[in-house]
Amino acid sequence: MISTWDHTVTLLSVGDGYDDIGNPIEGVTSKLTIFAKRKPTNRREFYLAGQNGISIDETFVIHPYEYSKQTHLEFEGLYYTIVRTYQISNEELELQCSVKVGDLNGQ
């Protein structure tokens, strides 16, 4: 199977802030939309993650120079938490992601 850079993901930096009346909230502080390869999660990693109470729902490959320790990403309208990163080569970085329940404001 040939994987291609034909998907777009939005890397999200999430930080603390305040709403209009001064209540502390968590929200998106920056967004970066980039091209990515969508990669199937292999069976071994899926089950190993499950044994540790983690769900790996999607795996993406991006260029490492585009990644700046973001903790979340958006793909096809869903928000994901970046669970693990793995440097495949100088040109490819793998992001293993878990679906985030609710939005990025904790709702």
pTM of the predicted structure, to 2 decimals: 0.78
Any residues with CB less than 8 A from the CB of 64 and at least 6 apart, and which? 87, 90, 91, 92, 93
Confidence of residue 47 (pLDDT cuts 50, 70, 90): low
- CA dist 12 and 43 (Å) reads 27
Q: Is residue 107's pLDDT more than 80? A: no
DSSP string, 32-61: EEEEEEEEPPPHHHHHHHHHTT----EEEE
Range 33-42 average pLDDT: 89
Inside any domain, residue 105: no
- What is the span of the domain harbouring residue 29? 7-99
CATH number of domain containing 44: 2.40.10.270
- Domain assignment present for residue 43? The answer is yes
Share the mean pLDDT of the chain: 84
CA–centroid distance for 2 within its chain: 22
Q: How many domains does the chain divide into? A: 1
